[in-house]
Amino acid sequence: MSKDVTTVSEEGYSATNEIRDFETTIDANGEDAPDTLEALLAAYGSCYVPALRVGGQQRGEEDLGKIEIESTGELNDDDKLESVHFDIRVEADVDDETGEEIIERAFELCKVHDALKESLHAETTFEGDAF
């Protein structure tokens, strides 16, 4: 099995991506759409949400409720991504130990996490009963 995306740029630094019946735009300059690194952070966070939910279920937390992840990507002097940090807040009242177990399991499940070089694996904070 494979995943297929067609990326087209008619001019400049903006590109349209055709993904099945969906279309997204990414603008390397960040002027007309999210830039490439913002798109990567969005994909990482979006992948991590279901991984948190499954990790929670596997660690005895059947429903984490609302999940909010603030993703921060620090850039180096070349404007390349140097590190990623997730501030994770969940609605469920989860103690710190269980939260850490859920985080670790979610990293094992997250496919975007697997695709990143180790230096870009997200550092995390976790807050239960946040809403």
pTM value?
0.91
The domains of the chain, with CATH numbers, are 1-34 (no CATH), 36-127 (3.30.300.20)
Under DSSP, the state recorded for 115 is: H
Q: Is 118 helix (H, G, I), strand (E, B) or coil?
A: helix
With 0-12 / 13-18 / 19 or more C-beta atoms within 10 angstroms meaning exposed / middle / buried, residue 61 is buried
Find all residues with CB under 8 Å of 19, minimum gap 6, and list them: 5
- The predicted-structure confidence for 65-104, as pLDDT tens digits, reads as follows 999 999 999 999 999 999 999 999 999 999 999 999 999 9
Under DSSP, the state recorded for 78 is: T
Alpha helices in the chain (DSSP H): 36-58, 96-109, 111-115
- The predicted-structure confidence for 40-66, as pLDDT tens digits, reads as follows 999 999 999 999 999 999 999 999 999
